[in-house]
Structure 1
Amino acid sequence: MISASRRKSGGMSIIELMIAMAIGMFLIAGAISLFVVSKRTYSEAERTARMGENSRFALQTLSADLRLGGFFGEVPAADLKGRTGLAAVTGDCTGRGAAYGYNNYLFVARTNIGGNAIGCIVDAVPNTDVVIIKSVRPFPLSDGVRDDPGDDDGTIDMPGVLDGQKTYVMANPITGRIFDGAGTVPSIGEGGAVPRGNAWEYRFQAYYIRAGDVPQLSRKVLSWDGAGMAITTEDVVEGVENLRVMIGEDRDRDGETDRYLDSTDTSIDWSRVTSMKVFLLVRSADRDVGYTDQRTYTLGNTTLAAPNDNFHRIVVQSDVSLRNSKLLVRGTK
């Protein structure tokens, strides 16, 4: 005879199994949903952080170089003398953009419908600004220990010697000469071309937005190409798809900006420019298929139409006081 307890010791019923499976599927679905949401949140945070980092780096780099615009060591551009002995620059820019045209040390141009500007830029995003900056690096080379006449021998050698693959400005508080490091060096001895002069590395930069699958902030620079000085391209940061600049003018020469003008305004007096407002439109590196950008963007006095694509964007701005220009403007009041 089989006991009642043994008859009741069977496994799970079909109903219990179905309930268990339903609960399990519910838990799995919840876990998957949580994973998807977490991944999307992480992707959005990473995308925003990357755009923020790129925009900060782009603004900091461009703003720092703008502040140095017109700095030629110990003299203003007007006191720099001829460029005797300078070799021609391969692929040089034209007009105000010419690499050795140091009197036009700050200038902004606008690219045409073909993405061209200043004779040396042919790959830019159309209808964006180009910022041309000419200056020297703020780290001079000198003849021995500075301010120690006893250490002078008439040769630049502190903290290093001249580089034959660079261009320099030799300057003292009265005058200056621009020259190739491999060429004839201006005399810095007593009675020389630049007595007690120091050598400062000359820089030419033209910032612009380079077109491509991923647009980027790039710049044309003066550098050695293996045979001589040439205009070459450096990429600064990717994802920057528009650059606009408003030009601040000091009309009464009191050191304060009186009005801001579009960079294409023909009434700008560049000898009175003391500040600039820089606007950048920065784009995410990848598409977000679940997002459509239907916003308009204002850069200075220009409003851009909604892109209607799958990229995220932010606009960043920097107000840059042009220190050297401001000193020159006030000095000629």
Structure 2
Amino acid sequence: MPAITPFRRQQGASLIEIMIAITIGLLILAGVSSLFVRNSRAHDEIRRANEQIENGRYAASLLADDLRNAGYLAEFDPSSMATPVSPDPCATDVASLAAAMAMPVQGINDVATAPTCLSDVKTGTDIVVVRRASTCAVGETGCEAAVSGAVYLQASGCNSATELGSGNVNTYYALSSSATSLTKKRVDCVTTAPLHRYRVHIYFVANNNVSGDGVPTLKRAELGPSGFSIVPLVDGIENLQFEYGIDSLTAATGMPASWAADAGSDAAWRNVVAVKIHVLARAATASAGYTDAKTYTLGAGVSYTPTGAAANYKRHVYETTARVNNTAQRNM
């Protein structure tokens, strides 16, 4: 008869072993959680930095592109027009718009009182006005269709006594929101000259993107059929400063003879041939535990050192120079 194997009692973990296992598990969990938090914060900082870089570069590029086209008026050359007298950037009547065409770039330095068509403008920043026609004509591929009530420019190519042959610069072009007034002809004096949408863009820094959000934003007021409308362009733009390259008023060369933050006179504004653009871009959200102690220089004599809660944001200055091609070429 085989021997009977004695019954073996099953043994489990003791209370001490369970407590040790729990402690080890908690330590591992804490390490993993800490790693996750650090990775998450690093990811957020990378995202903030990428957004800041992209926004700053885009804002500078956007401004430069528009300034390069300032003064484009199709085939019309405004050189013989009278110098406008302190034109109102917010004017919408055709007579005022026509008079201001000879001043394609106009700036307001360190704004204290903003033009009436702007709102929420950040005090101490600069404003720049760009006047030009659209670089494409109505009906061309890729160009917008005619908009009812919008202002259009029509440059004459006809050397008749009622247009280019008149000796009166006011007959060399038509500027109107009414189709019945846009009757200028091409060089054959028969075909109707093309229509170019007339644009006035006013760039400024607003205190908020959306009312009360505290995110400084580059915005643009755009002339439209019902006056000016404000369009947010790039958030996180904290400051905007310009320096203007002014051609010689006595012997124009198409090159800057001097640089200034404020041209100082209507004749000088008319002869701006280049613009230095200084953009201070800030992250949209604060960085935990970060204090910005840097001083940022935005052109000659303009600097900014963040203090208080503003020092918790990372920021960077972006700079570029745009040649005002149409004015510079005409002056040459």
TM-score scaled by length of structure 1: 0.77
- Pick closer, same or farther for the CA change 1:166–1:237 going to 2, 3 Å: same
- Pick closer, same or farther for the CA change 1:292–1:120 going to 2, 3 Å: same
Quote the offset at 1:294 in angstroms.
Answer: 2.5
State the partner residue of 1:204: 200
Counterpart-to-counterpart distance in 2, 1:68 and 1:159: 16
- Pick closer, same or farther for the CA change 1:160–1:296 going to 2, 3 Å: closer
Counterpart-to-counterpart distance in 2, 1:290 and 1:42: 15
Quote the offset at 1:79 in angstroms.
Answer: 5.3
8 Å contact kept, 1:240–1:282: yes
Counterpart-to-counterpart distance in 2, 1:138 and 1:176: 16
Residues 10-54 of structure 1 show CA distances to partners (whole Å, capped at 9, x for unaligned) of 222344333322321221111001100110011001111111222
8 Å contact kept, 1:162–1:181: no
- Pick closer, same or farther for the CA change 1:105–1:91 going to 2, 3 Å: closer
Counterpart-to-counterpart distance in 1, 2:154 and 2:134: 12
- Pick closer, same or farther for the CA change 1:15–1:169 going to 2, 3 Å: same
Alignment of 1:2-151 (within 5 A): 6=8, 10-78=11-79, 92-93=90-91, 99-100=97-98, 101-113=100-112, 116-141=113-138
Alignment of 1:299-318 (within 5 A): 299-301=298-300, 302-309=302-309, 310-318=312-320
Percent identical residues: 26
Residues 57-108 of structure 1 show CA distances to partners (whole Å, capped at 9, x for unaligned) of 2222211111110000012223579xxxxxxxx99349xxx64411121111
8 Å contact kept, 2:219–2:234: yes
Aligned length: 296
8 Å contact kept, 1:70–1:76: no
State the partner residue of 1:84: none
Alignment of 1:125-204 (within 5 A): 125-141=122-138, 162-173=146-157, 175-188=172-185, 197-204=193-200
AA aligned opposite 1:210: A
Quote the offset at 1:316 in angstroms.
Answer: 1.2
Alignment of 1:176-325 (within 5 A): 176-188=173-185, 197-212=193-208, 213-225=214-226, 230-251=227-248, 253-263=252-262, 269-301=268-300, 302-309=302-309, 310-325=312-327
- Pick closer, same or farther for the CA change 1:13–1:191 going to 2, 3 Å: closer
- Pick closer, same or farther for the CA change 1:28–1:282 going to 2, 3 Å: same
Match of 2:330 among 325, 328, 331: 328
Quote the offset at 1:182 in angstroms.
Answer: 4.3
8 Å contact kept, 1:261–1:268: no
**Structure 1 consecutive aligned stretches of length 4 or more whose deviation exceeds 6 Å:** 2-5, 158-161, 189-192
Counterpart-to-counterpart distance in 2, 1:164 and 1:33: 60
Counterpart-to-counterpart distance in 1, 2:22 and 2:175: 83
8 Å contact kept, 1:91–1:231: no
TM-score scaled by length of structure 2: 0.77
Counterpart-to-counterpart distance in 2, 1:28 and 1:268: 71
Q: Which moved further from structure 2: 17-26 or 127-136? A: 17-26
- Pick closer, same or farther for the CA change 1:189–1:62 going to 2, 3 Å: closer
- Considering only aligned residues, what root-mean-square deviation do their CA atoms show, in Å? 3.4
Counterpart-to-counterpart distance in 2, 1:246 and 1:110: 9
8 Å contact kept, 1:241–1:281: yes
8 Å contact kept, 1:92–1:99: no
Q: Which moved further from structure 2: 58-67 or 172-181? A: 172-181
8 Å contact kept, 1:172–1:195: no
- Pick closer, same or farther for the CA change 1:311–1:5 going to 2, 3 Å: farther
Counterpart-to-counterpart distance in 1, 2:90 and 2:67: 21
AA aligned opposite 2:315: R
AA aligned opposite 1:319: T
- Pick closer, same or farther for the CA change 1:287–1:21 going to 2, 3 Å: same
Give the structure, 1 or 2, with the largest relative contact order (CA under 8 Å, sep 6 or more). Answer: 2
Counterpart-to-counterpart distance in 1, 2:20 and 2:62: 63
8 Å contact kept, 1:163–1:181: no
- Pick closer, same or farther for the CA change 1:159–1:66 going to 2, 3 Å: closer
Counterpart-to-counterpart distance in 2, 1:236 and 1:159: 21
